[in-house]
A and B are shown apart, each in its own frame.
Chain A
């Protein structure tokens, strides 16, 4: 199978430099990193990709069974590493991709040499003695929201649903492809993401790890960031003065500086 095509792999930046993999989270695709790539491009070889079912991946190979577990997505990461024969790469994962990176690093230890976890959460649902920030009902509500926008999201979704991506009158193709995920696949990814529990896996992380959290994040509250930091021995925690769940978009300078600082220490 052509993994590069399947996962819409893009390689850019300084091709002689150390490799950094940028992995998008639930909701969008590799375009999420467009404010990050320029900061890394001078010194690093940057690998971008879309998980199967997201962005411009080959969604015909999507399997509900495989992607019903984060391991299925981690396998995508391992596949990309193997296809490009990456060694000792730095893996930068946003949101759920942080946890996918943890799994992938355990599956292919020689491929991934360090982790940057941007707004991670190993468990979204509250449990006895653990606060993830959400109840099971909240997650069902998110799934309902996804479903509601199956019809309602005319601006970004309709061209994809109707399969007219290539109609020129729809204008800026790039714009329309943002987050243009098939609703069924988005639902699988949402379930897998928000119902998963990766707290145990955090303890197994062996590689140098940077945890980035935001001061105000509705999805990954600060106590979750602290939890991740505590669970991964030797990890570094940086709290970015940023609002929302996407500091690489809302506070790109601070986010890039944190990532570059971490990467520079490792060179």
Chain B
């Protein structure tokens, strides 16, 4: 190799000469592959039809696929006759019109019927041959064996259908789950507050997250002919576990109140139940709550309220005279963390025009300020309440609902509000005061 710089073939090289003879022979053999033979034995089906679809010519490859003799096909059948019924419909509605409009059409998946009754998937392309005057003369069609490809596509389609089915199923599951959540959530709160003669009640519940069960709760219910009970509280945490505690709390308080309506006794019963139920498991669950009873005095229109708090922010009393104050219940412990816990009682009398307001700490812990780093707080709430003093429970709840809305993103916790009060005896008198 070192000495060879010329790349020209050496005409005297006997090997070269031999190679040349061999390739010439192969080329000559190729030339013998006539156009006719290429047409007849091509690895695809060839078909020529008149414009009305009548088959004028078909190659052997296609006839072999069909399992038909040339005489049975040429001049006797139309292209559409070779197709399955579904394919024929498709041909009439899509293939033929497109071919007419475009002059050609490529890669349409159809099935041809075989003489043995079987079907064979093919990919069909057609082109219209025009005469010198531009008039359509005939249609040339090729058909490719698409058995492997169709099997593969059917796999894809099966996969797509399975995915669609799974998506539908998961959407249905999700809808069912949301329905279940909504029903559960409703079981944690009273559908409507009972009507109490001479007393107005109003409540509001803000859900921080639509698909997460909240942990705040409230209720108002009759005890006997004269007395009513109410409570409002906050279970630690969110989600299904918190909702389970909420449910247990709500129905325990309702049952306890019927047994002994004394507020401290009711909270003590709840404390026993929660502590017994949750402390052993290493996942202590507890709540804060204000529980109370009230009894309207038909003679004066006033109602006497007795309540007790376990770890809950103090209630607010809004007076008809335009003042407002917390009703302190210091020292009441979270409910459920200790086997026995102190609860602090308080009493007040609501005269006409007075309103008692219970709330959860979602309200006072709402983040305010420009960068949402400050908390709304007790003092701001008290100031807000003073402005509302003398208003009806409905008006108070409405104003607070507006306040909660104004927090926007700053309100990131569930918040429950419950107001009860005695409507002013004579609004006319009040407005002229």
Per-residue 0/1 for A139-162: is the Cβ within 8 Å of any B Cβ (1 yes, 0 no)? 111111111111111111000000
What's the least CB distance linking B269 to chain A, in Å? 54
Name the CB-closest residue of A to B86.
Answer: A141
B52–A141 touching, CB < 8 Å:
no
Given A152-B107, A178-B98, A218-B92, verify A243-B53 contact (CB < 8 Å). yes
Given A152-B109, A154-B106, A245-B96, verify A218-B80 contact (CB < 8 Å). yes
Chain B positions within 8 Å of A219 at CB level: 89, 92-93
A146–B157 touching, CB < 8 Å:
no
A28–B157 touching, CB < 8 Å:
no
Interface of chain A residues 145 through 202 with chain B (CB within 8 A): 145-156, 175, 178-179, 194
Name the CB-closest residue of A to B121.
Answer: A148
Interface size on A, residues (CB 8 A): 43
B157–A150 touching, CB < 8 Å:
yes
Given the complex of chains A and B, what is the CA–CA distance between A245 and B98 in angstroms?
12
Given A148-B153, A154-B107, A156-B105, verify A141-B97 contact (CB < 8 Å). no
Whether, in the assembled complex, B90 has its beta carbon less than 8 Å from a beta carbon of chain A, the answer is yes
Chain B positions within 8 Å of A140 at CB level: 86
Of the candidates A135, A141, A153, A244, the one whose C-beta lies within 8 Å of that of B92 is: A244
Name the CB-closest residue of B to A31.
Answer: B101
Chain B positions within 8 Å of A154 at CB level: 106-107
Given A145-B90, A219-B92, A250-B52, verify A152-B97 contact (CB < 8 Å). no
Chain A positions within 8 Å of B85 at CB level: 134-135, 138, 141-142
Whether, in the assembled complex, A246 has its beta carbon less than 8 Å from a beta carbon of chain B, the answer is yes
Whether, in the assembled complex, B244 has its beta carbon less than 8 Å from a beta carbon of chain A, the answer is no
B96–A156 touching, CB < 8 Å:
no
Chain B positions within 8 Å of A141 at CB level: 84-87, 89
Given the complex of chains A and B, what is the CA–CA distance between A145 and B109 in angstroms?
8
Whether, in the assembled complex, A26 has its beta carbon less than 8 Å from a beta carbon of chain B, the answer is yes
Name the CB-closest residue of A to B149.
Answer: A152
Name the CB-closest residue of B to A147.
Answer: B157
Chain B positions within 8 Å of A152 at CB level: 107-109, 123, 146, 153
Whether, in the assembled complex, A5 has its beta carbon less than 8 Å from a beta carbon of chain B, the answer is no
Chain A positions within 8 Å of B101 at CB level: 31-32, 34, 178, 249
Whether, in the assembled complex, A69 has its beta carbon less than 8 Å from a beta carbon of chain B, the answer is no
Given the complex of chains A and B, what is the CA–CA distance between A146 and B91 in angstroms?
11
Given the complex of chains A and B, what is the CA–CA distance between A250 and B94 in angstroms?
14
Given the complex of chains A and B, what is the CA–CA distance between A10 and B33 in angstroms?
55
Of the candidates A31, A95, A142, the one whose C-beta lies within 8 Å of that of B86 is: A142
Chain B positions within 8 Å of A239 at CB level: none
Of the candidates A27, A95, A144, A218, the one whose C-beta lies within 8 Å of that of B88 is: A218
B97–A27 touching, CB < 8 Å:
yes
Given A27-B93, A27-B94, A148-B150, verify A153-B80 contact (CB < 8 Å). no
Chain A positions within 8 Å of B108 at CB level: 149, 152-153, 155
Given the complex of chains A and B, what is the CA–CA distance between A161 and B91 in angstroms?
20
B80–A179 touching, CB < 8 Å:
no
Whether, in the assembled complex, A216 has its beta carbon less than 8 Å from a beta carbon of chain B, the answer is yes
What's the least CB distance linking A33 to chain B, in Å? 10
Of the candidates B87, B102, B146, B157, the one whose C-beta lies within 8 Å of that of A175 is: B102
Given A26-B93, A246-B96, verify A151-B86 contact (CB < 8 Å). no
Chain A positions within 8 Å of B157 at CB level: 147-148, 150-151
Whether, in the assembled complex, A225 has its beta carbon less than 8 Å from a beta carbon of chain B, the answer is no
Chain A positions within 8 Å of B123 at CB level: 152
Given A138-B89, A142-B86, A218-B80, verify A155-B97 contact (CB < 8 Å). no
Given the complex of chains A and B, what is the CA–CA distance between A149 and B92 in angstroms?
15
Q: What are 13 of the A-B contact pairs (CB < 8 Å)?
A: A28-B98, A31-B101, A135-B85, A141-B87, A141-B89, A148-B153, A151-B157, A152-B107, A153-B107, A218-B92, A244-B53, A249-B101, A250-B51
Q: Which residues of B contact A (CB under 8 A)?
A: 51-53, 78, 80, 84-94, 96-98, 100-102, 105-111, 121, 123, 146, 150, 153, 156-157
